[in-house]
A and B are shown apart, each in its own frame.
Chain A
Amino acid sequence: MIWLIGMELRKRWESLKWPGLALLLVLSGLVLLAVLLAPDDFAELPSRASGTVAIMAMVSVIVTVMGYYPYVDAAWRFANDFRGRHAPLEFGSAVPTWKKLVAKLIASVTLYLIVIYATGFLMVLPGVLLNDRAAIFALRSPLVAQAAATVLVTYLAVSIYLSLVNRTRWAGIVAVLVGVSPVFLFDMAWFLYYLDLGGMPWYFDETTRWVITGAAAAVGFIGSLVLLDHQADI
């Protein structure tokens, strides 16, 4: 299992290292430029005159793109491993499917955390250099984020369907369930916040909401594994 996780991380590193480095360099340059152009003490929001607005817009787009990279990588990796040229190596092995999928999941989550911390570090760097108002750099571009989420969910669902269509009759169901589940789970967290039972609003606290959502995600994930490993015999 440890070796499988290491292998998955190695695959991600090999696909990430050059585009990731390029994005980090561009982002670092922009952040540095923003620091140089910013008002002396960052006491006020950046102004058009200071030139930081345009830079921050670019920064927010890049941060959003970097934030979505782990999801893009996870979807692309799934398609490449299970549908693409590496499928014989991935599928041909007698290693149980659940181990392969758990290794991919752990590697994807690890990559996500690394990216979040890397971008987060860059975002707070101006704050360290100047003051804590630099947190405004953590802005994300809502338009880019929404478009990326839509494209990703569609891409993930299509990848899963095409990976499984010649292997199991459950391809369509699994594709919809796994592809749409991130959106569904996110909505579920909000739904729980506004849950109204018998006319009495029941506001779950944030921890409870995410525990319930996490449990639903776990049940969905384990259910998918059972479906794939036993019934669909992927």
Chain B
Amino acid sequence: MNSSQPSAGSACPYSGKPLADLSLTDPLIQAYPTSFYQTLRSEEPVHFDAKLGMWLVSRYEDIVTLLRDPDTYSDKHGYEAQYASGYFEEFKEILEREGGGFFSDAIKSDPPYHTRIRKLLEKAFTAHRVKALEPGITKIVADLADKFAEKAANGNVVDGVKEFAIPLTIAVICEQMGIDQYNGEKISRWSVAITAQIGRMQNRESMIANAKEICDLQNFIIAQMKDREQSPREDMISDLVHASTEDGEKLTFAEAVSLIRALIIAGNDTTATAIGNLLFILATKPELAQELYDNVEDSRYMNRFVEELLRYAPPVRGLAKMTTCETELGGQKLPKGAHMLVLYASGNADETRFECPQQFDTGRGNLGSHVAFGVGIHRCIGASLARMEINVAAKELIKRVKNIKLAIPMDELKYQPTVATHTIESLPMLLERRV
């Protein structure tokens, strides 16, 4: 059994049912998807999920083929068809009325436009730039880990997601963006509201609530931008407000809002999800927690540990693309306009690619070929920052705590209802402080 995705026992929604009766819109499949993915890969690797209205791409090879062909599989059209699905016009009106405007995501686009936007951002996220941030981030994480360990040391149940993973990533991104005064709970709500737009599980009521949160976020961003326009500082919001492309063109106001929004949110929810997964694994695999502690000063081991964590439990489950012409993928004919969901998590569990995929093995020869960050032109731009945050979180925490356990039975864990990520919502745990 894969302990990161425990089977739901007798409630298992897919045992014995034909694929045609199953859908990724089922919250139980979303929470425990391992067998579903395996069935997809072995029976119908490019499968039309009728309830979702999308083609699920589950095999490693097909995922890479698709992601390496952005002309045939449009990111822009796939994303737009997914965004606020079912309520888009009303959503857009709310943002225009109360949120300063509707700003489409500049980075969720196709070449050649995408190439121009992406180039602007790349320099800020190189592994070398990120390395320079490590001491500052270590300090933030160490403070948070101290508080977390101290609360737990008094015998209290602590929430690994709400009291460690989420505040950690929010503190880091605010430092990056130069936001000194912030309300962590608000940023967390904004993140959920944005991610929900590609999660496909919104009803009208939650769409309206989420749209209001996004208005609040956009008004906050616009105020921050105005501040940096007048007095530029050494931070990423200033960089974007004053950025110009190689040909000297400036970003438009709408582009800048959308990019700042993307940077605040994209790296936040996903990295918090990864750190939540880290804590879950430490709580359920004590031998691995011990191995991590024994190797905590070995930077090669730590890097491999983080990479295997990302392969084993990738935060992003599925993102959308759309075919721009008739094509064929994995033996399946696809019409023009086919809405695709790329199942990164299934690719990482593909047994033809990764031997014993359910085993957490930092010694894998092909560790770096996982698709948790995507592949091709849309590969995660914040990968180095995410890796470093997870690395520092693992290190600072394991140095302080031991005997990490779940405080509730595994099958009572709640996962966010969404097709886009595989995210533990709340992780009650018990742990002891190392003396």
The answer to whether A and B belong to the same complex is no
Binding site for B on A (CB under 8 A): none
